[in-house]
Structure 1
Amino acid sequence: MPNQRLRDALLRNGLSFEHVARATTVDPKTVERWITRDRTPYPRHRHVIASMVKESETYLWPNALAKDAKKEINESEVVQVYAHRHSISADVWRHMLDGAKLNVSILVYSGMFLVDNPALIRTLRQKAEEGVKIRILLGDPASREVARRSEEEGIGKGTLAAKVRNALAFFKPLADSGHAEVRCHKTTLYNSIYRFDDEMLINTHVLGFMAGHAPVLHLRRLSGGDLFETYAESFQGVWDAAKPPKW
C-alpha cells in the first residue's frame, strides 16, 4: 500500500523524488519505494524528510517507532501541567503568542478571558501581517452544545451563548480585515485548544466547573510524538466541520 501521507506532504511542499534524494543522499528510486511500496526510511532519513515537509515522523510513518521509544517521546511532550487555567501567568500566554511564526489556532466555546489582554487584537493583526495564519473557532451561540455546556457550568442555559456573541463581536474586526478566519462549531468540547506553532495549551473541561478552574496541559511538539498530533488533528476535524458565523 502506498504511503499517501508522505506523497501528499511532498506535493504540498512542491518537492519531487529528486529533491528528497539529494537531501537524503539516496537514489531517487529509493525515495519512490518509500512512497509506492511504503518502505520505512532509516531514522536519519526520516528526520530530514520530516523537517522538509514540516510534519512529524509519527504522522508520516505511524509504525516506525518502537513502543518504548514512543512512550518516552509522548511523556516528553508534556512540558507542564497546571491545576487551573487561571493559574497560568500572563507572561506564559504572551511568550507563546509572541513566539508564533506560522500558526495561531484557538478552539473554544467563548474564550472571553482572552479579551482581558487589551493588546490581543493589535498583536494578532500584526502577526497576520507577518504571515502567521490565525484561525479562531468559537461555539455556535444558537447550538444545543453551547446551551448544554452553559448549564453544565452552572451559569444558566443562555449565559454562555451571550459570552460567545460577545466574543464574536470582539474578533469581528480581525475577520472583516482579513487578518483572521473565524468559524463557529457545534461540537461537544472535551477540551479547549490554544496552539502557537509547536506549542499548545489544552484546557480540559470538567463537569460542574468553568474552564478557568479546570486543568491545563502545556505541550511541545516532538518529532515522533503522538500527544501533540492527537490534539492537532482534533482541531482540524472541528475546523473542517465548522461554518462562518452569522454576524
Structure 2
Amino acid sequence: MSTALVPIDLPDWSWERAEVRQSLRARDIAAVFRHVQQYSGASQSRIATATGMTQARVNEIINGRREVVRLDVYERIADGLRMPDDARHLLGLAAGREKRNGGAAFDLAAFPEVVRVYAAQNAAAEEIQQQARTTQELDVLAVRGLGLIGLNDSLLRACLPREQGGKGVRVRVLLLDPDSDALTRRAAEIGESAESLAGGVRLTEARLRELLADGCDIQVYRYRMLPTWRLIRTDTTMFVSAFDAGWEGHESATYKVMETPHGPLFRGFRRMFDAVIDGAQRTV
C-alpha cells in the first residue's frame, strides 16, 4: 500500500529543537524539509503531497535550486506539515485555525526562546526527566532541593545513571544557606519554621554527598540571598519557575526556555546562575 497520502505528523519536540527553529526563522524551507525527513522519515513524495507540490519541486527546494518566496506557499507548507502555532509564527505566519497544544502547556509565539509554559512543575515533570536522562550538564537552583534531587524519589535523582555512579554528568546544585537571614525570611513567607527549612537543606546536602561518594561529578553550594528564581538547566534547555510569598517554586508556572542564537533569556538566566555560584560557599 502506498504511503504517499499518509499525513506527516512530526513529534512536538522536533519543532522545539534549536536548529529547526533557526531554519523557520530564516525561512529556509530546504532545511525545514530536511528536518521533516529526519524526524518523520517522510519521502519527498510524501512532503509534496502534504504541501500541494510536485515531487520534482520539493527536490529542487531541498537541493537549493528553487526558493520559496510566496506567502500562500508558506501557508500550504505550514498547513501540510501541521506546524504548531509557535513554529508558524517563527515562519512569519499567523496562528493556525486549530490549536495543536492544550491542557497544562501552551505555546508563546511572541518569545521564540520560551517554547512552552506549564501550569506547575508536576505538569512538566516527564519532560524535565527526559531531558535530564540525556544531559551532560545539570544545574539546579533551589531552596532546599529535597523534591528536586535530595530524596530517592525526587524529580532528578533517579535520572542520574546509577549504574555509572552518575559519571558522565556534571552536576551543580545551589541551595539556600541554612544559617542565613534569607532562609529565616523565606521560612516565614511559606509558613514554616526556620529550623524545619534549614533541616531540609542540610538533609539534601547529606544526600548529595552520597552521590559524590559514588563517583558522581557533583558540586553543591550555599547562597545567602532571598530566593527569586528556581532553575533547572539541562545543556541548552532550562525549566524556570519563581518563588514568592505564600507559594513554593514547584507550585509556580514553569517556563521551558531553550538557547537560541540571539535570545537574552537563556543567556541571562545562565549568567545569573554562574554569578550566584561565584558568590556562594561550596559545601560538597
Matches within 5 A, 1:31-46: none
Larger helix share, 1 or 2: 1
User: Could you tell me which residue of structure 1 aligns to residue 139 of structure 2?
Assistant: 105
* Residue 144 of structure 1 pairs with residue 181 of structure 2: yes
Q: 1:173 aligns with which of 196, 204, 210?
A: 210
SS in structure 2 opposite 1:224? coil
Q: Distance in 2 between matches of 1:174 and 1:74?
A: 41
User: Could you tell me which residue of structure 2 aligns to residue 39 of structure 1?
Assistant: none
Q: C-alpha offsets along residues 167-226 of structure 1, whole Å, 9 cap, x if unaligned?
A: 111111123455211111112221111100000111211211122211211111111110
* Residue 96 of structure 1 pairs with residue 134 of structure 2: no
CA-based RMSD of the aligned residues comes to 2.6
Q: C-alpha offsets along residues 50-71 of structure 1, whole Å, 9 cap, x if unaligned?
A: xxxxxxxxxxxxxxxxxxx9xx
User: Could you tell me which residue of structure 1 aligns to residue 111 of structure 2?
Assistant: 75
The TM-score, its normalising length taken from structure 1, stands at 0.63
Distance 1:158 1:74, change over 3 A: farther
Q: Distance in 2 between matches of 1:119 and 1:223?
A: 28
- Count of residues paired in the alignment: 173
Larger gyration radius, structure 1 or structure 2: 2
Q: Is the 8 A contact 2:166 2:211 kept in 1?
A: no
SS in structure 1 opposite 2:128? helix
Q: Distance in 2 between matches of 1:170 and 1:212?
A: 20
Matches within 5 A, 1:1-247: 75-89=111-125, 91-100=126-135, 102-114=136-148, 115=151, 116-117=153-154, 120=157, 123=160, 126=164, 128-130=166-168, 132-177=169-214, 179=216, 180-245=218-283
Q: Is the 8 A contact 1:124 1:134 kept in 2?
A: no
Q: Distance in 1 between matches of 2:232 and 2:204?
A: 15
User: Could you tell me which residue of structure 1 aligns to residue 62 of structure 2?
Assistant: none
User: Could you tell me which residue of structure 2 aligns to residue 3 of structure 1?
Assistant: none
Q: C-alpha offsets along residues 145-170 of structure 1, whole Å, 9 cap, x if unaligned?
A: 11111110112332211111111111
SS in structure 2 opposite 1:81? strand
Higher RCO, 1 vs 2 (CA within 8 Å, ≥6 residues apart): 1
1:73 Cα deviation after fit: 9.6
Q: Is the 8 A contact 1:135 1:181 kept in 2?
A: yes
The TM-score, its normalising length taken from structure 2, stands at 0.55
Distance 1:73 1:133, change over 3 A: farther
1:76 Cα deviation after fit: 0.7
Question: Partner letter of residue 200 of structure 2?
Answer: K
Unaligned runs of at least 5 residues, structure 1:
1-68
Q: Distance in 2 between matches of 1:233 and 1:110?
A: 22
Distance 1:119 1:104, change over 3 A: closer
Unaligned runs of at least 5 residues, structure 2:
1-89, 91-107
Q: Distance in 2 between matches of 1:157 and 1:183?
A: 19
